[in-house]
Amino acid sequence: MLAGVRMVAFIVIAPPFSSNAFPLRIKGMLALGLALAVAPVVTADYVSPDTGGFIASLVLELVVGAVLGFIVMVVFSAIQSAGNLIDLFGGFTLAQGYDPQLQINGAQFTRLFQMTALALLFASGGYQLIIGGLARTFSAIPIGGGIDLAAPLAALTSATGQMLLSALQIAGPLIVVLFLADAGLGLVTRVAPALNAFSLGFPVKILLTLLLVPLIFVALPNIVNAVSKAAVDGFAGVR
């Protein structure tokens, strides 16, 4: 039960399992199956406490699973944030809306990047890497063994900084091109004000975005692979 509570808290928060495309019944069955799989490892040195201690252990495992899931969610937010930056600089934010399926608020490329990342996670087997990392956390953080809050906070801080840097690295080349397009239109307007070149701003940036985004999609499989490994490394920072 203690292992299952950690698994449930993780699956509810961490991608790709947190998507509403997975019914709650499936999430519960997956958590139960994973808990049974790791039971021989977690019960080896476990000593059952009294009722009060067991309830405290349940709460502790809920916190541990939520922290681990949140670290994975922060790391994978890099891809979503890259799409958000492309929407912002490409002029797509006017079509922003909430997607209840993916549970994100963004425009076209924000949702497209998130859906592509989730699909690549399953196609490349990255989800197995995440589950394997979660199973190894039972050795680093034994059942009912407690958790040092300083370690997860440091891991979250590092994951947040890495997320922002990764988002800029993914969307950076396209952002530079769109910035240069704005600068070029500004120079044209400065030289010939009568042309009103800024009226072409939105069509030009949308065209450039549609032409250059496929180049980012070519690199997305390697990006998702690197992000999956970074998420598993984030588990190692929690003790």
- Stated pTM of the model: 0.76
> At residue 9, does pLDDT exceed 80?
yes
Q: pLDDT tier at 122 (50, 70, 90 boundaries)?
A: confident
- pLDDT, position 145: 62
Secondary structure of the chain in the HEC alphabet? Answer: CHHHHHHHHHHHHCCCCCCCCCCHHHHHHHHHHHHHHHHHHHCCCCCCCCHHHHHHHHHHHHHHHHHHHHHHHHHHHHHHHHHHHHHHHHCCHHHCEEECCCCEEECHHHHHHHHHHHHHHHHHCHHHHHHHHHHHHHHHCCCCCCCCCHHHHHHHHHHHHHHHHHHHHHHHHHHHHHHHHHHHHHHHHHHCHHHCHHHHHHHHHHHHHHHHHHHHHHHHHHHHHHHHHHHHHHHHCCC
Distance CA 166, CA 82 (A): 8
What range defines the domain where residue 196 resides?
2-236
Q: pLDDT-derived band of residue 152, with 50, 70 and 90 as boundaries?
A: low
Q: Please tell me which residue, 132 or 103, carries the higher pLDDT value.
A: 132
Residue 65 has pLDDT above 70, yes or no: yes
> Tens digits of per-residue pLDDT, 13-26?
888 788 777 788 88
Q: What is the mean pLDDT of the chain?
A: 78
Q: What is the mean pLDDT of residues 129-155?
A: 73
pLDDT band at 151 (very low <50, low <70, confident <90, very high): low
* pLDDT tens digits along 68-119: 888 888 878 888 888 888 888 887 777 777 777 767 777 778 888 888 888 8
* Whole-number percent of the chain with pLDDT over 90: 0
- How many domains does the structure of the chain reveal? 1
pLDDT digits (tens, 9 = 90+) for 191-207: 777 667 667 777 888 88
